[in-house]
Structure 1
Amino acid sequence: MKLSKMLISTLREVPAEAEIVSHQLMLRAGMIRKVSSGVYNYMPFGIKVIKKIEKIVRSEMEVADAQEFLASALLTSELLIESGRWNIFGPEVFRLKDRNEREFCLAPTHEETFTDIARNEIKSYKQLPLNLYQIQTKYRDEKTTRLGVMTSREFTMGEACSFDASNEGLDISYNKMYNAYTNIFKRCSLKCKDVEADCGAMGDLSSLEFMVKSEVGEEEVVTCSSCGYAVNMEKATSTSEPMKKEEFKELNKILTPGIKTIEDLEKFFNTTNKKFAKTLIFKADDRVIAVMVRGDRQLNENKVINAIGGAKKFELADEGVVMASTSAIVGFAGPIGIVADLLLVDSEVANMYNYIVGANDTGYHYENVNYGRDFKGLVGDYKKVVEGDKCSKCESQITIDRGIELAHIFKLGTVYSQSMGATFIGQDGKNNPLVMGRYGIGINRTMAAIIEQHHDENGIKWPMSVAPYQVVVVPVSIKDEEQMKIAEEIYNKLKGIGVEVLMDDRNERVGVKFKDLDLIGIPIRITIGKKISEGNVEFKLRYAGDNEIIEIDSVMDRVKQEFVNNNITL
């Protein structure tokens, strides 16, 4: 393509709305343009990158024996009610009605559609295993859209479901898809880490997330450098410090007027926050849930939601609910005599001795409280791990980094097939539920993550595999006939061997051209200038930053060598 015929609109200034590098550079390089909060148009350069990533996904899906299909973006409420997710999904789902008042939603994900196809089409074990995938637009009303296309409300997702006759078969399908995703990110030149993840509303077997490290990431990733343990914060566990055994002391009720916070209690009792256990009260749909964690700990709400079997709405209780549960104002809740549907006790609290809690009486606390003697509840792991905690696998210290999720793979088992009646006739002649796996990769997120990992102060440094164009030929002066002649010859030869090549034939100063091209990030730049009188041109690799003077006759071989170096086939 000739740049003089293309829509190219670069920005010199960083848009005020863009917080992260990928968002800034996508706007500045003219890859995207904002429609509204979290909604974007993909401009010519941007859509070419998207298509390149999709092509890589398709080729790896073929290796994994997955077949492509395309589902409707509209999901009926009946299908989601059948799976149980219509009422689980919250305000992030776009819901609508047709003229006959029939309810639909814009698909945030398509598990039900995959399952519906399988139950209608798969009859026998002879049709298994089966793996279907699609690359489809999804819709989610994200609460925050500050990360550009990382958190957009409309996005492209590669999504697959595998169907097997057994858990052993699922393991094989799952491993194929794990390898496929690993190869996708490798081919996109992305450094990803796969971490254990919570299944959430998807199922109950196991799952992995593919994360890229990022200071602006909305996910927290817990890792151990000693044993390789890596897990999303939602699922992270740690080993508690061993408690020194003590004799139970006499329970005392202490007047603590006006003291509500852990910090106030530390001063009043002249001790550390580890000697306190705080009781937090939540409303989970129509239930009142009380949860206890040590005074220095934060609660992991995801663990609590899983422990109570899920909740459509989970939030801190208001003052009225707290008063009804504790007979006290906020700040004095405790486990002794609390009125709640369920009391969850973190295992750390259950193993403490002679600690301090709220007395469910305004202005009072109990000291020398002990689990088992003074109260009981459902003991489990409800705390949020922190930097420096001991790894639950090897007891070395864990570290916590921020990351961005690019892909997620699940072993769903029979969660959907049982709820939706997706069965097959096995070798034994009996009906059996299909054993499912679910796999998803964010195409737009992958594009943004590549920019996050491949950029400099001048702009994007696209890897060859996903660059909108691989080579750009730049005549310094379009008024110089010899420069234009050589530029055209090189341009046409490159096109002839299948290289995706641009020619910057715009009537602009060469400095403007270079700034635009560095910003857009074309991997190879061939500059045709005054050195053609010596039979030479300038050859520059955007991702290396070095300029070379090479002979005109060696240009084709030099370009071909870069393709070989990047494992790109012409």
Structure 2
Amino acid sequence: MRASRFFISTLKEAPSDAEIVSHKLMMRAGMIKRLGSGIYTYMPMGLKVIRKVEAIVREEMNRAGAIELLMPLVQPAELWQETGRWDKMGPELMRVKDRHGREFAIQPTSEEVITDVVRSEIKSYRQLPLNFYHIQTKFRDERRPRFGLMRGREFTMKDAYSFDRDLEGMQTSYQIMFDAYTKIFTRFGLKFRAVAADNGAIGGTGSHEFHVIASTGEDALVYCPDSDYAANMEAAEALATGTRAAPTAELTKTSTPKASKCEDVAKLLGIDLSKTVKTIALTAETEADGKVAKQYFMLLLRGDHELNEIKAAKVPGLTGAYRFSTEEEILEVYGCKPGYLGPIGTKGAVTVVADRTVANMSDFVTGANEEGFHYTGANWGRDMAEPAITADLRNVVEGDPSPDGKGVLAIERGIEVGHVFQLGTAYSESMKATYLDENGKPAPLQMGCYGIGVTRILGAAIEQNFDDKGIIWPTSIAPFELVLCPMGMDRSELVKEQTEKLYAAAQEAGIDVIVDDRGLRPGAMFADWELIGVPHRVVIGDRGLKEGQLEYQGRRDTEATNVPLADIVSFIKGKVQQ
């Protein structure tokens, strides 16, 4: 490719609406152009990266035995209604009507469509296992689109769906896809981590997320440096810390005026925050015979710990709809304003749920259910009943014991770019997708689903690989592997001749090369390619050619290296293949 025939449109400054590094650099490098909120045109330079990402994904998916098809962007509402997700998905699901008033979804994912395809095609166990995948545009009506391709409304995704006879077969297919994903992200040249995750709105029995490690990542990843344990913050198990000691202090009602937060109470009493217990009041509502019944829950966490709402939603009684209690409900049930609540002497019927660590505490400080007062020296069994439920309610913190017993936990930031799910029969049962087993009896298909955010990879890769000059693409997904920068090509026949020879030789060697024949000054030319992030650069100039040398510099190199002209192609090929 010649730069004069390609479209290159770089900017010195990022647009004012660009927020994070990847958004700013992609806009400056001319890879994307904003069309509307969360909607971008992929410009030629950016599209080249997308196509390289897609090529790696296709190669590894095909190698793993998956079969490519293409499902529609617009999907009938009836399919989503069969699974109940038409209502459950909420406003993120874009709904439209055709001229006849029929409702459709602009697909954010394709579980319903692929299940509909398979239930009409698969009849016998002899046709299994199967794995279909496609790479398709998706649309999710994000409330607040931001960060460029990281959280846009329209994006490209690879999603795959496996179908098996039984649980064992599904788990085998899941492992095949897990291994394929590991190969894909390794080939991308990115530092990544696979972590156990919660299934969320997709449903199913187990899942893993693949995260690109980056300090700017939105997600906290929990792992044990001494073992294979890894999970995202939502799914990471928090073990109890310490063991419950015998009481040593008397229960004392202590004045704590204007100290409604644990931090304020600890400061007032001169104690460590870890000796306090905070209360979170929740209300669960159920409806029967047109009447709404309320059940009140008191969740107790150590003062320096944070509630994990995903874990809270798994507590018996809270697995349906729950919400934080209103101030009116708190006054009615606890007899005081928020900030002074505790498990001793509640006014109404409350289910006390203690985090594992809180259940192990003794001589702790808790609210007295009276404004301006807390109890010190509180102990389970002696001063209040044992908690009705003990559960894992909190986010883990660095230094917590690893659930596998092989060390302590560490935390790093990551950007989710892939997710694999064991769906089981969540969709096949609701959509009556069955096959006939060896005995001629119908059985529900066991499903798995596997997604990669193709366009999100671009943003994640940049967040992990950039400097003050611009993007640093891994070679495997760079828009071009090599850029040739001739000095005075329009003035020197020698430079022009050798540039053309090297350009042809690089192409013949299978190197994705672009020659900058725009006639720019060296500073402007180098700045463009450093911003765009091409990983390998060769400068061709009169002085070097007279000495039989060319100047090579890798995008991460601080200095250039002189390479003999005769060796340059093999040298570059070796660099590209590293």
Give me the TM-score of the superposition, normalised by structure 2.
Answer: 0.89
TM alignment of 1:231-270, pairs within 5 A: 231-246=231-246, 258-266=258-266
For 2:380, the aligned partner's letter is N
Alignment of 1:58-77 (within 5 A): 58-77=58-77
Counterpart of 2:450 (choices 430, 439, 450) is 439
- How far residue 299 of structure 1 moved from its aligned partner, in angstroms, is 0.7
Match of 1:471? Answer: 482
1:383 alignment partner, SS class: coil
Equivalent residue number for residue 519 of structure 2: 507
Distance 1:108 1:249, change over 3 A: same
Is 1:352 matched with 2:361? yes
Q: Tell me the residue number matched to 2:431.
A: 420
Indicate yes or no: 2:551 matched with 1:538.
yes
Question: Shift of residue 144 of structure 1?
Answer: 4.7
Distance 2:443 2:27 in 1: 51
Name whichever of 335-344 and 318-327 sits farther off: 335-344
Deviation at 1:249, TM superposition (A): 8.4
> Does the 8 A contact of 1:254 with 1:364 survive in 2?
yes
Aligned match for 2:562, one of 543, 549, 554: 549
Determine the structure 1 residue equivalent to 2:289. none
Q: 1:153 to 1:342 in 2, by over 3 A?
A: farther
By how many angstroms is 1:291 displaced? 1.9
Partner of 1:370: 380
Change (3 A) 1:82 1:251: farther
Secondary structure (helix, strand or coil) at the match of 2:476 reads coil
Which 5+ residue runs of structure 2 have no aligned equivalent?
A: 287-293
Distance 1:220-1:485 versus aligned 2 partners, 3 A rule: same
8 Å Cα contact 1:190/1:450 also seen in 2: yes
Does the C-alpha gap of structure 1 residues 427 and 493 become closer, same or farther in structure 2, counting only changes over 3 Å?
same
1:323 alignment counterpart: 331
For 1:295, the equivalent position in structure 2 comes to 303
Greater Cα shift, 188-197 or 451-460: 451-460
Indicate if the aligned counterparts of 1:211 and 1:407 stay in contact, CA closer than 8 A: yes
For the structure 1 residues 141 and 371, does the alpha-carbon distance in structure 2 shift closer, same or farther, using more than 3 Å as the test?
Answer: farther
1:55 Cα shift?
0.5
Give how far 1:67 is off: 0.7
Moved more, 426-435 or 448-457: 448-457
8 Å CA contact retained: 2:313, 2:320: no
Deviation at 1:2, TM superposition (A): 1.9
Q: Does 1:558 align with 2:571?
A: yes
Q: Which residue of 2 aligns with 1:24?
A: 24
Q: Which residue of 1 aligns with 2:168?
A: 168
- Does 2:405 correspond to 1:405? no
Q: Is the CA contact (8 Å cut-off) linking 1:32 and 1:40 kept in structure 2? A: yes
CA–CA distance in structure 2, aligned partners of residues 73 and 371 of structure 1: 59
Query: Which of 500, 504, 529 matches 1:488?
Result: 500
> Is residue 478–residue 506 contact of structure 1 (8 Å, CA) maintained in 2?
no
* TM-aligned CA distance change 1:105 to 1:550, over 3 Å: same
For residues 87-131 of structure 1, what are the alpha-carbon distances to aligned partners after superposition, in whole Å with 9 as ceiling and x for unaligned? Answer: 332343333344444443322222222222222221111110000
Q: Distance in 2 between matches of 1:168 and 1:146?
A: 41
The alignment partner of 2:330 has SS state of: helix
- Tell me whether 403-412 or 201-210 shows the greater mean CA deviation: 201-210
Deviates more, 1:22-31 or 1:129-138: 22-31
Distance 1:268 1:69, change over 3 A: same
1:222 aligned counterpart, secondary structure = strand
Using the TM superposition, name which of 311-320 and 415-424 deviates more. Answer: 311-320
Classify the secondary structure of the residue corresponding to 1:321.
helix
For residues 402-450 of structure 1, the C-alpha deviation after alignment (integer angstroms, 9 at most, x for no partner) is: 1111111111222222222211111122211111111111112222222
Which range moved further: 360-369 or 512-521? 360-369
Separation (CA, whole Å) in 2 of partners of 1:331 and 1:410: 40
Could you say which residue in structure 2 is the equivalent of 1:453? 464
Q: Distance in 2 between matches of 1:134 and 1:536?
A: 47
- CA separation of 1:281 and 1:141: change in aligned 2, threshold 3 A: farther
- Looking at structure 2, the residues matched to 285 and 35 of structure 1 have their Cα atoms a distance apart, in angstroms, of 43
**SS of 2:88 mapped into structure 1:** coil
One-letter code of the match for 2:560? N
Name 2:12's counterpart in structure 1: 12
Q: Specify whether residues 308 and 90 from structure 1 end up closer, same or farther in structure 2 by C-alpha distance, changes over 3 A only.
A: farther
- Per the alignment, residue 384 of structure 1 pairs with 395
SS at match of 2:517: coil
Q: Is the 8 A contact 1:473 1:525 kept in 2?
A: yes
CA distance in 2, matches of 1:247, 1:534: 85
Q: Could you say what secondary structure the match of 2:89 adopts? A: coil
Q: 1:349-407: per-residue Cα shift (whole Å, max 9, x none)?
A: 33334544334454555563526953643321111211222222226332222111111
> Per the alignment, do residues 36 and 419 of structure 1 end up closer, same or farther by CA in structure 2, a change over 3 Å counting?
same
The aligned residue for residue 203 of structure 1 is 203
How far off is 1:526 after superposition? Answer: 2.9
More divergent stretch after superposition (105-114 vs 341-350): 341-350
Letter in 1 for 2:435: F
Q: 2:520 and 2:317 mapped to 1: Cα distance?
A: 64
- Paired amino acid for 1:133: Y
Would you say the 8 A contact 1:87–1:312 is kept in 2?
Answer: no
- What value does the CA root-mean-square deviation take over the aligned residues? 2.9
Instruction: State the distance in 2 between where 1:275 and 1:559 align.
Output: 62
Q: Is the 8 A contact 1:285 1:311 kept in 2?
A: no
For each residue in 1:260-308, what CA deviation from the matched residue of structure 2 results, as whole angstroms up to 9, or x when unmatched? 2223433565544444332212356766543222233211111012335
Task: Please state if 1:306 is matched with 2:308.
Answer: no
Q: Distance in 1 between matches of 2:322 and 2:304?
A: 23
Normalising by structure 1, report the TM-score: 0.90
**Pair 1:35-2:46 in alignment:** no
Q: Secondary structure at the match of 1:48?
A: helix
Instruction: Give ranges in structure 1 of 5+ residues lacking alignment.
Output: none
* Aligned-partner Cα distance in 2 for 1:535–1:247: 84
Please say which of residues 269-278 and 202-211 is displaced more in the overlay: 269-278
1:157-236 matches, cutoff 5 A = 157-236=157-236
Further displaced range: 164-173 or 203-212: 203-212
Aligned residues of 1:90 and 1:312 also touching (Cα < 8 A): no
Cα distance in 2 for partners of 1:332, 1:159 equals: 49
User: Structure 1 residues 248, 499: closer, same or farther in 2, change over 3 A?
Assistant: closer
| Partner residue in 1 for 2:530 | 518
Residue 86 of structure 1 aligns to a residue in which SS? Answer: helix
Asked if structure 1 preserves the Cα contact closer than 8 Å seen for 2:266 and 2:273, the reply is yes
Cα shift at 1:182: 0.8
CA distance in 2, matches of 1:311, 1:104: 30
Q: CA deviation at 1:175?
A: 1.5
Note closer, same or farther for the CA distance 1:551–1:370 as it changes in structure 2 (3 Å cut): closer
Task: Give how far 1:42 is off.
Answer: 1.3
Alpha-carbon deviation of 1:166? 1.4
**Which residue does the alignment assign to 1:120?**
120
Q: Distance in 1 between matches of 2:349 and 2:137?
A: 43
